[in-house]
């Protein structure tokens, strides 16, 4: 059935109708006072969402553009960086850093496993000459549904004293507590089509005072993603280059929706949705890629030893119009991923579980007890 | 009066309601077949609009991002380039090129004057050792309403034989004939919020086979704006990074509207709108910054020796809700600019002229003969 699709992928995520309708307004000039006022409101609310007093800069770019900006503004050619790589987006950090001539030392873990903070500790403690200029970590690894222990890795980075901590919070911002100022995170990158509940097209970067000092010494070439220009402009509630005006309309509304819910409530909601999803998956006899201890609240990755993953996704789409995300790279055909971040409520999880249960039955899984997965999930959705 | 604004600025330009409503649809996944089909249609139509057989690449970026991509993918650090600079956007080319360590030789003209192609000829003819790797030109200079003689500059570049020709077509694409394959233009950058009739947030770059050869030797660091990745992806009707899905919905509709009008009709319409605007401005006793011979069809820049420019813009906005663009940099307060590109019809020009006439009268200009400017304009709007 056309137009009946339900997005349960980790981005783009569903968008509230009030946001969509805001985006359907005629654009206004981005150099006028009316627009400045919108930016003024958004800037304040972005600081609230990021739990920071510093400016959060907005780029006309997808998340990868924000990640690139997070590197090229604060580092120089030949700088040594320590990058956590346990999935597609950790790998992307490595690729971006190498493209700009950084010396990359990787801390690796298998896809589905969390990064081991102690491995960061070893490298950082042994760096007596303070060669490591930045520790770069993906908080919630979208490709596997693993939440890395950023708090502990950051603690060791702080003990090192020199290195910046640069974070991909693309699927963690708004889904799990990320107190940027309290933890003194230096650079945090994120993207619109995730917890923000708006369509893709905007990247965000928060920058600490320590990072701005590093900016002064960065020699990597930049113009479009030169955050100094964005910082200067945002002080006047403006942009150095034309911003995506209609997406900004949507962001204004989405941030109001978030503020009305409250940070603590947002985090609790995502936690519950993740827990309900996970127990339902287990009850259905499917396998969770990430352990309970390292599970992201935003995404659940699922494998199966009994039913072909590709068939599950196919039936979910064709029969129920529910879109799940496939595995990426070598995980293709081995896992599917359920996105449950942003504009997702309890009903969406129950719907997904119910349809997944029926899908498995249709695919010949006789072990399923009808209704059991939903009733288990409900234990986490009081 | 709220929500009654009429945008007569050179971007964002007005957006058709069918485009706005398309953008208000729920996003779909950018890795699915439904999205691939949209991209397939858009790709074909972008080739039609660009008059090229080559792929036109789409970036989640504003026009400046597309300009940067047009430089960093085809040149190397220390390369010599010849850049035309006769306005804000010529100057931006210079700034981008310098930020990436290129050796810039500028061909300059005053703001409001066109670039002199013979000056390009001299430099190119004297470059016996073929050191000049690219000639970089702004086609329609948005800051002044000057259309540079790209055809002749390009002819001299072709006689040079080695240099690429790189073009900023941000306000010329869709407003004036720009036959990319026929003229063998190597790299042409443009942006959404102009002739495309969609809100800002997408940049476009067309790339010739000659430019792709240069891409192989380019050593400038890049990742997010690495056009090789976009080229590889567009062959599968896809993107390397998340595209702005909702803006893509709008682009699909806008390109259909353009195709229904036809290229020749689009160019004729813009020419008539420019001519009507220009004769009306003269009739009102105001001054045109660009001569008739070098006038852009997209923007008309206006100065006045009798009434303060800032007051004119103020009354136009406050009384008639018509938004004109101010001058940029040293032209601030010295000119205003009327954008008449994209989704603009004859009625919009007549409306603007009528209100401008009344504004001048309100500001005490007793030389105005009521109705004369409109009747002069009508000579070009049969």
CATH number for the domain harbouring residue B308: 3.90.1150.10
**Residues A162-220: tens digit of each pLDDT:** 999 999 999 999 999 999 999 999 999 999 999 999 999 999 999 999 999 999 999 99
Closest Cα in chain A, distance from residue B118 (Å) = 31
How many angstroms separate the CA atoms of B180 and B54, rounded?
Answer: 10
- Indicate whether B292 and B306 sit together in one domain: yes
- Report if residue A345 sits inside a domain: yes
- Do B267 and B255 belong to one domain? no
Domain boundary among A243, A260, A277: A260
Kindly state the percentage of chain A with pLDDT values over 90. 99
Total number of domains constituting chain B: 2
Average pLDDT for chain B: 97
Examine the domain organization and report whether B266 and B344 are in the same domain.
yes
pLDDT digit string (tens) for A4-44?
Answer: 999 999 999 999 999 999 999 999 999 999 999 999 999 99
Q: Which of A65, A96, A242 sits opposite B11 (nearest CB)?
A: A242
On whether the CB atoms of residues A50 and A182 are closer than 8 A, the answer is no
B145-174: per-residue pLDDT in tens?
Answer: 999 999 999 999 999 999 999 999 999 999
Q: Do A221 and B62 touch (CB under 8 A)?
A: no
Was A347 annotated as part of a binding site?
no
- Same domain, residue pair A180 and A58: yes
Could you give the CA distance from residue A276 to residue A267 in angstroms, rounded to a whole number?
14
| Interchain CB distance below 8 Å, A244 and B241 | no
User: Are A197 and A334 members of one domain?
Assistant: no
User: What is the 3-state composition of chain B as percent helix, strand, coil, each rounded to the nearest 5?
Assistant: 45, 15, 40
CA-based nearest distance B308→chain A, Å: 19
Q: Does any domain span residue B207?
A: yes
| Residue A86 pLDDT > 80 | yes
- φ/ψ (deg, to 5) at B368: -75, 130
Compute the distance between CA of residue B227 and CA of residue B211 in angstroms, rounded to an integer. Answer: 11
pLDDT number for residue A72? 98
Within this chain, do residues B58 and B192 fall inside the same structural domain, yes or no? yes
Q: Is residue B233 part of a domain?
A: yes
Residues facing residue A144 across a β-bridge: none
DSSP secondary structure string for all residues of A220-232: S--STT-HHHHHH
Shared-domain flag, residues B219 and B291: no
Are A25 and A67 contained in the same domain? Answer: yes
The complex scores an ipTM of 0.97
Q: Read off the DSSP letter of residue A239.
A: -
Q: Which among B211, B228, B260 is the end of a domain?
A: B260
Any CB–CB contact under 8 A between A200 and chain B? Answer: yes
**B338 interface with A at CB cutoff 8 Å:** no
Q: Position of tokens 């990868």?
A: A64
In Å, what is the CA distance from A274 to each residue of A43, A207, A298, A337, A351? 30, 29, 7, 12, 14
Tell me if A370 is assigned to some domain: yes
On whether residue B78 sits in a domain, the answer given is yes
Nearest in space to B204 (alpha carbons), one of B225, B221, B184, B223: B225
Query: Residue B336 is part of which domain span?
Result: 6-12+262-378
pLDDT at B337: 98
Q: Which residues pair with A60 in a beta bridge?
A: none
Rounded-to-integer distance, Cα B93 and Cα B106, Å: 10
As given in the structure block, the two tokens for residue B78 are: 């220390």
Least Cα separation, residue A366 to chain B (angstroms): 30
Of the partner residues B11, B29, B246, the one whose CB lies closest to the CB of residue A7: B29
Contact B326 A31 (CB under 8 A): yes
Angle between helices B117-126 and B150-160 (to 10 degrees): 10
Q: How far apart are alpha carbons B279 and B275 in whole angstroms? A: 6
CB contact under 8 A, A244 and B63: no
Are the beta carbons of B28 and A12 separated by less than 8 Å? yes
Residues B251 and B270 both lie in one domain: no
Q: Which residues of A touch B220 (CB under 8 A)?
A: 221
Is residue A290 located within the same domain as residue A256?
no
Interface of A with B in 33-62 (CB under 8 A): 60-62
A1 in a structural domain: no
The reply to whether A257 touches chain B by the CB within 8 Å rule is no
The pLDDT tens digits for B363-373 are 999 999 999 99
pLDDT < 70 positions in chain B: none
Contacts of A193 in chain B (CB under 8 A): 27, 242, 245
Say whether both A245 and A107 belong to one domain: yes
Contacts of A380 (CB under 8 A, 6+ apart): A272, A275, A276, A279
**A60 Cα to chain B: minimum distance (Å):** 5
Q: Is A114 buried (19+), middle (13-18) or exposed (0-12) by CB count in 10 A? A: buried
The alpha carbon of residue B64 is apart from the nearest alpha carbon of chain A, in Å, by 6
Residues A306-347: tens digit of each pLDDT: 999 999 999 999 999 999 999 999 999 999 999 999 999 999
Last residue of a domain, one of B231, B260, B289: B260
What's the CATH code of the domain at A186? 3.40.640.10
Q: Are A205 and A309 found together in one domain?
A: no
pLDDT in the model for residue A194: 96
Closest by CA to A116, choosing from A327, A267, A293, is A293
Chain B touched by A241 (CB under 8 Å) = yes
Smallest Cβ distance to B5: which of A28, A67, A247?
A: A28
Q: Is residue B1 part of a domain?
A: no
E strands present in B181-247: 187-191, 203-207
CA distances to A324, A349, A354 from A318, rounded to whole Å, are 11, 18, 15
Residue A382 scores a pLDDT above 90:
no
Encoded tokens for B317: 């906005």
């Amino acid at each position: 059935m056309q137009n009946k699709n339900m997005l349960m992928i980790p981005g783009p995520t569903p968008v509230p109708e009030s946001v969509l309708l805001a985006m359907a307004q005629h654009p206004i000039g981005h150099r006028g006072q009316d627009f400045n006022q919108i930016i003024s409101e958004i800037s304040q609310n972005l600081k609230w969402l990021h739990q920071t007093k510093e400016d959060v800069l907005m780029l006309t770019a997808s998340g990868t553009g924000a990640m690139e900006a997070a590197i090229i503004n604060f580092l120089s050619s030949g700088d040594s960086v320590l990058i956590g790589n346990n999935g597609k987006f950790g790998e992307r950090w490595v690729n971006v850093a190498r493209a700009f001539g950084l010396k990359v030392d990787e801390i690796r873990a298998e896809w589905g496993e969390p990064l081991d903070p102690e491995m960061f500790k070893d490298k950082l403690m042994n760096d007596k000459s303070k060669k490591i200029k930045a520790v770069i970590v993906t908080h919630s690894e979208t490709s596997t549904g693993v939440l890395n222990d950023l708090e502990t890795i950051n603690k060791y980075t702080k003990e090192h004293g020199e290195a910046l901590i640069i974070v991909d919070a693309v699927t963690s911002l708004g889904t799990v507590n990320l107190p940027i100022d309290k933890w003194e995170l230096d650079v945090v990158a994120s993207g619109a089509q995730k917890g923000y509940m708006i369509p893709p097209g905007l990247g965000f970067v928060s920058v600490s005072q320590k990072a701005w000092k590093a900016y002064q010494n960065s020699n990597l070439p930049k113009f479009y993603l030169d955050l100094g220009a964005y910082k200067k402009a945002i002080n006047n509630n403006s942009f150095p280059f034309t911003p995506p005006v209609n997406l900004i309309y949507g962001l204004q509304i989405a941030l109001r929706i978030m503020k009305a819910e409250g940070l603590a409530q947002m985090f609790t909601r995502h936690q519950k949705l993740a827990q309900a999803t996970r127990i339902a998956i287990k009850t259905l006899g499917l396998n969770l890629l990430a352990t309970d201890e390292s599970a992201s609240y935003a995404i659940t990755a699922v494998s199966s030893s009994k039913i072909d993953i590709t068939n599950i996704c196919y039936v979910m789409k064709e029969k129920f119009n529910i879109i799940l995300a496939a595995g990426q790279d070598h995980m293709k055909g081995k896992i599917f991923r359920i996105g449950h971040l942003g504009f997702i409520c309890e009903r969406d999880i129950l719907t997904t579980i119910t349809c997944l249960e029926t899908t498995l039955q249709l695919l010949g899984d006789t072990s399923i007890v009808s209704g059991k997965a939903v009733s288990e999930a409900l234990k986490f959705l009081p």
